[in-house]
Structure 1
Amino acid sequence: MQVDEAIRARRAIKWYDPEHQMPEETFLKLMEHAILAPTAFNIQNWRFVRVTDPEQRKAIRAVAWDQAQVTDASELLVLCFDNKCWQRDPQRYWRKAPQEVQDFLVPAIDDYYRDKPQIERDEGMRSCGLAGQTIMLMALELGYQSCPMDGFDYDEVAKIINLPEDHSIAFMIAIGKGTKDSWPKPGQLPLDEVMINNRFD
């Protein structure tokens, strides 16, 4: 599938075959592509919680408006981010770079994030957004549908997955074999309404 085809074909699918199991090699291929998504300073701050336990899935569904895709999809990923990964041995993020690049960028990571919790959170949300789109497009390439989700109680899901205090949840993605097509696109705004040249009036 061409990239432009995947972008046009990707839809949020709500209905999945609960009997279908994604082969493990397919899932690993999906996630190997997910971690190629870009992050600021290459800090790779996303964390992917793969929820496979049926009881855990049921508990999440109960705090996610009883949305069936939580339990019926082959895979459920909670996309989280580590707010403090920038200070966890940051040299490793640039270990293969030339020494002069390491000498410049590794100290810059500390300067950029230290004592700036809003930047930590903003970067985490951006990183998970980029990874999430990568996952959804790659899922289509592999013959699967997906559904990005933010309709759930974040605090309750955090308890269910035992989220560390210095981590945050961005959103979830259900992935599986869809059983129904999505409804037609409900109304795409024209490009000239959402693209601004140079500056707002």
Structure 2
Amino acid sequence: MNTLDAIYARRSAKHFDPHYPIPAAHEQQLLDATVQSPSCYNLQHWRLVVLRDPALRKTIRDTYGYQQTQITDASLLILFTADTKAWQKQPERYFANTPEGIREQLVGMIAPYFEGRPWIERDEAHRSVGLAAQTLMLAAEAMGYQSCPMMGYDLDGVAQLINLPEGFVMGPMVAIGKATEAPWPKPGQLPLKEIVRENTFA
């Protein structure tokens, strides 16, 4: 499936076959594709928590996940978190393959952008996670799987369950697997004339 086909075909599946195992090689392929996503200064803020333990998934579903069946039934459940302090952690490693002069220039730009601006730390972490989650879902669609992003869960409760480190933020859980029901028809996209502007809003 080409990229455009995957974009138009991808829908949020609500019911998954709980007995369908995703081969380990496919899971590796999905994760490898996910981390090809762009991120601010290539910081790769995302930290992916693969939720495998059935008991943990059941606790999330029953206590923190509003009984969403995707949480327990999907073949693969990945929780996206992000490290807001990634910019402080040996930033030169994010440019390991960059020519030395350019690497020094880019690394020197990171601290001035983030220092003393916690809202920028958080915003950039969430932006990076959003890009990575979409990459995962499109890769899954291209490989013949269905997906569902979920923010409908108790973030604080799940953060405690997974021992979320200080300085991290929570993003969506993404369920991947084989859907057992056809998705609803697309509810309808707004016309481009309503959402696209030329140069300004004036």
Normalising by the smaller structure, the TM-score range is over 0.9
Quick check: 1:56 aligned with 2:51? no
User: Once the 2 structures are TM-superposed, how far is the Cα of residue 73 of structure 1 from its aligned partner?
Assistant: 0.2
User: Once the 2 structures are TM-superposed, how far is the Cα of residue 35 of structure 1 from its aligned partner?
Assistant: 0.4
User: Once the 2 structures are TM-superposed, how far is the Cα of residue 121 of structure 1 from its aligned partner?
Assistant: 0.7
User: Once the 2 structures are TM-superposed, how far is the Cα of residue 115 of structure 1 from its aligned partner?
Assistant: 1.5
User: Once the 2 structures are TM-superposed, how far is the Cα of residue 107 of structure 1 from its aligned partner?
Assistant: 1.4
2:49 partner amino acid: V
What residue in structure 2 maps to residue 126 of structure 1? 127
Which residues in structure 2 correspond to 1:97-136 (within 5 Å)? 97-136=98-137
Quick check: 1:13 aligned with 2:16? no
Number of residues of Structure 1 aligned to a counterpart in Structure 2: 201
CA distance in 1, matches of 2:26, 2:50: 14
Q: Deviations over 1:17-52 (max 9, x none)?
A: 000111111000001010000001011111110000
Quick check: 1:41 aligned with 2:41? yes
User: Once the 2 structures are TM-superposed, how far is the Cα of residue 9 of structure 1 from its aligned partner?
Assistant: 0.3
Which residues in structure 2 correspond to 1:184-195 (within 5 Å)? 184-195=185-196
CA contact (8 A) 1:81 1:167 kept: yes
Q: TM-score, normalised by structure 2?
A: 0.98
Give the stretch that moved more between structures: 93-102 or 145-154.
93-102
Q: TM-score, normalised by structure 1?
A: 0.98
Q: Deviations over 1:109-154 (max 9, x none)?
A: 1111111110011001110111011000000111100000010110
1:78 partner amino acid: L
What residue in structure 2 maps to residue 24 of structure 1? 24
Unaligned runs of 5+ in 2: none
CA distance in 2, matches of 1:72, 1:60: 12
What residue in structure 2 maps to residue 137 of structure 1? 138
| Percent of aligned pairs sharing the same letter | 46
Unaligned runs of 5+ in 1: none
User: Once the 2 structures are TM-superposed, how far is the Cα of residue 195 of structure 1 from its aligned partner?
Assistant: 0.7
CA distance in 2, matches of 1:67, 1:103: 47
SS in 2 for 1:25: helix
User: Once the 2 structures are TM-superposed, how far is the Cα of residue 170 of structure 1 from its aligned partner?
Assistant: 1.3
What residue in structure 1 maps to residue 160 of structure 2? 159
Q: Find runs of 4+ consecutive structure 1 residues off by over 2 angstroms.
A: none
User: Once the 2 structures are TM-superposed, how far is the Cα of residue 99 of structure 1 from its aligned partner?
Assistant: 1.2
Quick check: 1:85 aligned with 2:86? yes
CA contact (8 A) 1:59 1:160 kept: no
CA contact (8 A) 1:147 1:173 kept: yes
Which residues in structure 2 correspond to 1:169-188 (within 5 Å)? 169-188=170-189
Q: Deviations over 1:83-128 (max 9, x none)?
A: 1111111110112211110121111111111111100110011101
SS in 1 for 2:129: helix
RMSD: 0.8
CA contact (8 A) 1:51 1:76 kept: yes
CA contact (8 A) 1:12 1:148 kept: yes
2:161 partner amino acid: I
